[in-house]
Amino acid sequence: MIRLEAVTKVYPSPQGEVRVFEDLSLSLERGSQTVIMGASGTGKTTLLHILAGIDRPTSGRVLVFDEEIYGWSVERRAEFRNRKVGMIFQFFHLLKEFTAQENVALPLLIGGANKRQALARAEELLVRCGLKDRLSHRPSQLSGGEQQRVAIARALSASPELLLLDEPTGNLDWKTARQTVEFIKETIADLALTILLVTHSQEVASLFPRTLLLRNGALEALPGGGQEGQG
């Protein structure tokens, strides 16, 4: 469903340009689950931003169902991001002054949904995420694992097709991390979502069928998982 073709990314900087990757290609089939590993600074976050339509590559193409998203208008790309892409981050990025329910409703409100429906959908998602009794809690009143589940509910609120997770368990202990990943896998099992997850954890990667290593600006397939042959 989404494909990077010969993508190069160079950031200009006063100390000289930063060449993040060159001629990178990647194909994500609809409903596939892929992990990317790689040392800090290798460009994992940059890659997710390029896929989300947030950061334009220096050259190369990003195709969603064969359409080049960086050929679209800014508005069309913003709509793509809002409706089709869910993002989950290491530090949750929940808004402190809002309740769990309001945080989850926010993308729907931004997308133009009416408030009552957005809050009802948020409640439904939070119940599904096992947070029925936390609807009115603010982020500071929730544990790390609970905050990440709120962030997952928020990422799912607009029924995206692509879920991008940037070190989603990087801030959680292993037990909570494992529960969170299992929860993600259960929650998406019936949604036919395409997932790309960045992690430093070999244990987390082992829970997914396909792992790629980003190194020296290139992606290589890593053995392991192995239920899927695609590389």
Ligand X SMILES: Nc1ncnc2c1ncn2[C@@H]1O[C@H](COP(=O)(O)OP(=O)(O)O)[C@@H](O)[C@H]1O
Residue ranges binding ligand X (CB under 6 A): 11, 13, 18, 20, 38, 40-46
What is the smallest separation between the CB atom of 41 and ligand X, expressed in angstroms? Answer: 4
Cα radius of gyration rounded to whole Å, the chain:
18
Q: Which is nearer to ligand X, 30 or 56 (CB)?
A: 56
Range 44-63, binding Mg ion (CB under 5 A): 44-45
183 φ, ψ to 5°? Answer: -65, -45
What is the smallest separation between the CB atom of 100 and ligand X, expressed in angstroms? Answer: 27
Range 94-153, binding Mg ion (CB under 5 A): none
Stretch that binds Mg ion, among 41-49, 61-69, 79-87, 211-219 (CB under 5 A): 41-49
Compute CA distances 90 → 100, 104, 223, whole Å: 17, 17, 25
DSSP element (H, E) containing 187: helix 174-189
Q: Which is nearer to ligand X, 150 or 195 (CB)?
A: 195
Q: Which two tokens stand for residue 211?
A: 């792992």
Residues 6 or more apart whose Cβ sits within 8 Å of residue 45: 166, 198
Q: Which is nearer to ligand X, 9 or 210 (CB)?
A: 9
174: partner contacted, choices Mg ion, ligand X, none (Cβ within 5-8 A by kind): none
Q: Which is nearer to ligand X, 130 or 170 (CB)?
A: 170
Q: Which is nearer to ligand X, 37 or 119 (CB)?
A: 37
38: partner contacted, choices ligand X, Mg ion, none (Cβ within 5-8 A by kind): ligand X
Q: Which amino acid is at 203?
A: E
Confirm if 182 and 149 have CB atoms less than 8 A apart: no
Q: What is the DSSP letter of 43?
A: S
Q: What is the DSSP letter of 224?
A: S
The rounded distance, in Å, linking the Cα atoms of 13 and 179 is 40
Residues that bind Mg ion (CB under 5 A): 44-45
